[in-house]
Structure 1
Amino acid sequence: MRAARPADRTASPAEARETSGATTGLVLEYVRQHAGEAAVEDTLRRAGVPFTAAELSRPSTWTSYDTRIRLFTAATEVLGDPGVMFRIGADSLRTGMNSSVVVLVRAMGSPRQVYARLPRAVANFTTTSTMEVVESDATSATLRYRLHEGYVHSRLDCDYARGLISMVPAIFGLPPARVVHEECESSGAAACVYHLSWDRRSRWSRRRGGPASADPELAALRSQVRGLQEAATDLVDGEDLETVLRRIVDRAAAAVLAPAYLLAVSAPHGGAPLVHSSGLDPAEVPLLVARLLAGNDLGPGAVTVDVASARRTHGRLAALNRPGQGGLGDERAMLAAYAGHAAAALDLVLALEDSRSEARRAGALLDLAHDLAQAAEAREICEVVAGALPRIVGCGSSGVLLWDPAAGVLRAAACAGLPPEQEAVLRTATLRAGDVPEVFGILTDREPRVISAVGASAPMRDLLAALLLTDVVAVPLLAGTTFLGVVTASWADGEVSGALDADVLARLRGVGDQASTALQKARLLETVRHQASHDALTGLPNRVLFRERLADALAAAAPSGSVGVLFCDLDRFKAVNDSLGHAAGDELLRQVSARLRAAVRPGDTVGRLSGDEFAVLLPRLASPSDAQAVVGRVAAAFAEPFRLDGIPVPMGTSTGVAVHTGCGEDPSATAERLLREADTAMYRHKHRDRPPAPAPRPAE
């Protein structure tokens, strides 16, 4: 159990990181070897810990002091042995002590050297206790072990610590140390004091025998090799880069025991480094990452190594101890060996990621080609291209801006990847060539532009700031020498670093070429459609399109609504052709079409049906009589003479009106009927002043 903490220490709802998985793993392995897997599950159930056996066996899993004591208590109950915690510590060399610890201890040369360094390494196993060496010589030492303030001492924890420190000489092939423990915190002492004594190597080595396989160092080395092989396999089996990076941090604890770990590697395609950590306050991580990647010292308790292979340096890995704490020996060499395996795994995973990325890009390019083949309108083409660019180029957002030659501006036709507010900004922006140097430059030399917010012109810099972007690549869309617009790939702050390379530009050019071809085809198709449905001379809808729009207006009319058709025929048009020539007649028709368009209401349609015959579609009439107001404006449009080659030419028109109220059962048939009725009404108007034709004389 643990007593209430002082007021300045706030308990976290998450599991506190106070006990290394190296400790909990030893307990569960001892239970497994002596009582089986069912006993392990019983121990976990009795302890009520929020972890599985596999999690508690990983060195990277740190648990609270409460969890440790509950686990110790449960193991004691399951095995029915009050002294089992001492035996678990004393037998740890056989039951699975971390192999890197064994190798490091053996490299120190003697038990005396290990005991001298042991207080610095205690934090690798627990953060709730402090150890100090009171005295030591070649075959004896006195250690003082004290639980931190705020925790209630458990005799089980003391038994485990006694067993663990007694087995240090066994790593050197000596009998375990003899431990005399007369002062214990559980009995009210200020600290636990352990008096240790052990045999000299020279005396024991003559009596020592047995196979080489019994050598603790050899067994640890073999275990370490197996661990590295398993780590390499585990890393390579990662499904994606994020999984591999997380496993690197988890596996680092098998190489070097420490309370915390930090990994920072370069992002494959630029941008902010990829960071994974364990045991660190998230608020500390950014500053530590900056110092780690800069090669700065992270403190005396830090072990830092490069994660580098023969191909590239990926980043850096650090095992972090608290100030004043540290390892037993050359942990750097252990961590470096593991980092080498991690780097090789990263090489393979990144190669696989690149292969997958290329496959995704190839698929996206095929999808783009297919979608462009189906798109018929410029707007749809722009939406398809903008939507495909992030997958093909790897950008955060994209856009297609089309050139308006009449206004001299670029306007957004489509975009993807921008938040709604920024998308609205881009869609309403107009980039004038005269105001934005980047637009003028690309319009002049037809070359791509890599634009950064740092070196951009003031208008472009303001636009990028409004769009929350820092980098843009713009590639011109060209149909031969005709400038159609630009396609853009863009990145926000932190999304791109060295990613604006030749490969990105090549992919963007490829997409731009496809977009240019599709836009050119769409414009050609639009021209053909326009020519098929419009009069070539005046640009007005022809008879086919006019009839379609009339049928649509009839179909959309409300039951009480009215739709009208006004039919116009020029008076004495033939005389103009005969006297001034057909060129003058054509000019007259163009001027007539302009005056008619100016005379009608917004939403009305003026069409040229044939020769000198024009028609006006009047949708949404409030009443049939409203058509007469339009008739009056049309008549007024002919009040002033037309000027042809500087000659004033008076011109009149005959007009007929037909109105339909309600919804026709067959809009197409109703449209034909209305056109005939308006034509008939126009004919009556044209011949209103002529005498009636004489009645036919009867045959003699």
Structure 2
Amino acid sequence: MAPRAGGEARETSGVTTGLLVSYVRERAGEAAVEETLRRAGVPFTAEELSEPSTWTSYDTRIRLFTAATEVLGDPDAMFPMGAEALRNGMNAAVVLLVRAMGTPRQVYARLPRAVANFSTTSTMQVLEAGATTATIRYQLHEGYVHSRLDCDYARGLISMVPTVFGLAPAQVVHEECESSGYEACVYHLSWDRRQRLPWRRRGATTAADPELAALRIQVRSLQSAATDLVDGVDLDTVLPRIVERAAAAVLAPAYLLAVSAPAGGAPLVHSAGLPDADVPGLTARLLAGEDLGPGAVVVDVRSARRTHGRLAALHRPGEGGLGDERAMLAAYAGHAAAALDLVMALEGSRLETRRAGALLDLAHGLAQAADVPSTCATVARALPSIVGCDNAAVMLWDPAAGALSTAATVGLPADRETVMRTTSLRAEEVPELLGMLSDREPRVLSPTGGSAPMRRLLTSLGVSDAVAVPLLAGSTFLGVVTASWSEGQSGGAVDADVLARLRGVGDQASTALQKARLLETVRHQATHDALTGLPNRVLFRERLATALAAVPDGSAVGVLFCDLDRFKAVNDTLGHAAGDELLRQVSARLRAAVRPGDTVGRLSGDEFAVLLPRLGGPADADSVVARVDEAFAEPFRLDGTPVDVGTSTGVAVRSGPVADVAAVAEQLLRDADAAMYRHKHRDRPPAPSPRQAT
């Protein structure tokens, strides 16, 4: 939402005011929020203050802080408000960027560049940043009156950085404060390096993982953004929304959007946070592809078929974000492009109410589609209404096999649908497909012409006319969408208008497929170890809980916990690259040693676990333990050097149905870990690894 107050200085990001609203609401309810806004005398609603794109003045921020402490009856409330930012709605994009940086030290070192994304009235300097300590200098700009409440909030906010990495909050020592007459506020921070076994924390759940929670929020935000944007029915509505929603993807003091007008002429421009006099010059440089400076994040607003224009998030010189904001803004720009595709199509087809409604339904369906199969099914279902065909299909390209296969189809009888789904079109056998791969142009097909394989397929489907349009992501061939008519039903239906509409659906489908694959990548990254490709702790715990919930009478579930012996020596003598290669080889041997249906996971560092979901009893785990031990019998070869590495192994087994799945899963992991620890710290005879049954 754009602020309704005229002349409000853009000095405080909506991230800050949104955290305040969330904190007060959680502590004292909606009435307390309204009372805080009333006492502060701000000309904004709680909803507006919660939008990242709503910037307010420093004075408004301090009035809100003051009013909140009064309403809550707690003069020290600003510190916990900052410290609990993760739990009270910290922007998901910020959490993901912070988490991607790897360590609190790296985050603190980058904070000065990112401060202007939250406030433009102060300067931050990092005086020292060590592995577990940092010293930060924070000074309010001249002309502003320092507030102890603002200082409390800043201290709380910087203390929560380690919590993004699953660590305890940083301890903050603050002996020099501007409110006490010092030239600047100086914060001395210290934090613990790491927590070895996060699941040991009482009450810990996968939902408490900040990164996983942020990923889920980000996925929902992407879906919500797509829905919100396509709800706009004209360019005057969509362009401001694109800029407003961009603030949720990348935090910055200013934004600029420029797109081509549907009928030509001057570009359509929308901006936020920029002086009016600066907009024309920046727009010309943006569309010309010129460098807008080191503080600019610029992406194309482009669908598979058309580049509409460019979108920029603008930071001040010398300032910027926390990490790779460009990837997040580019993902969002894809949704913006899809919205512009739709709106510009509607500009030229207002009289086609039914088909325009079908396009909107398709856009909503694509916004909700969470994976490739559901995206393809949504497109196939929409095509008959949009194109006016009898049957439709989406076929995806497999570059490894050099063939097209059906991902979704509608309108065919069951026997003919089976034919469609079981038919694979190979480029080497179908000239029409080979030609499409070459020129990326649609093909109009008929059972009376074309190649023999295509004639046979159309005849077996009972189709008299068909048209296939390629799905393209830039120059990458993704597949085709097809519209076809049953025998006697076409009536010369394949004309330029049909082709144009099918192309439009193809453009939306291409964008949606890219989005779906992006979401699948995000989900995969959230649940898999980047080095080995194994399930990480989050996914391993989920599969363990699923196995426990499904275990029948007379069966058991086991967890095998492995910790490498002499792994540190490999890192110290051969280097971390060799250590990484060792971990990859270990993961490969473990996967080869376990049974089909077992899950090998990497929990952390050199700790691996194996889920044994189908055991006849505790003794059945012994054979898996023996195979795991045998996997380490041969030396590993690292840079041509044979290296002997062993493993300490512990096993825990649970038999029969489980009532409290979460508690039992937690106990199994602890028991397997404890068994491994005992095994590691004793002389191991040539006998099977110890087992503990629960």
TM-score (norm 1): 0.49
Larger radius of gyration: 1
